[in-house]
Amino acid sequence: MRRELTRAGVSRHEVQFQAYSGTGTATSPIKVSYNAFTARGPECGDWSDNLARDPKNIPYRNLGCATQHNLAAMVANPRDLVEPRGMTPRDSQRRDVIMDKYVKGDTTVAKKSSDEKAKVSDVSGGGSN
């Protein structure tokens, strides 16, 4: 079992094996359990506070509830909320290109095409009505 999990890409440190009393035959069951992270936001909906009549301007019951709920719905991997992922290796080729330009004194910013350039006066009509 350990070999198969390792072949599947599961780290040795993420697996624990424990013996349990079974019949000891080749058809004995194997119990597998695992941790699964899920992101679940709070239940929102208590809008009983009248925010128009709050002279103290203190946080209300649902402050941030929708934001937390939406973040939980959007997160791709809930484990990211518990611990960071490992970093991927840097792109050495791109770094070398940029460093060569920097040493030569060339600009290191990306060049924009003519349709990506605009002035506020072009967009707003020059400020005249």
pTM metric for this prediction: 0.44
Residue 68 CA to residue 47 CA, distance in Å, equals: 16
Residue with tokens 């079992």: 1
Range 30-65 burial, b when 16+ CB lie within 10 A, else e: eeeeeeeeebebeeeeeeeeeeeeeeeeeeeebeeb
pLDDT recorded at residue 128:
52
pLDDT in tens, 55-113: 888 888 888 888 999 999 999 899 888 888 888 888 889 889 999 999 999 988 887 77
Q: What is the pLDDT of residue 102?
A: 93
Mean pLDDT of the chain: 82
- pLDDT for the residue 119: 74
Average pLDDT value for residue range 28-55: 81
At 70 the pLDDT is 92
Give the pLDDT score at 88.
86
CA dihedral (119, 122, 126, 128) in degrees, to 10, reads -150
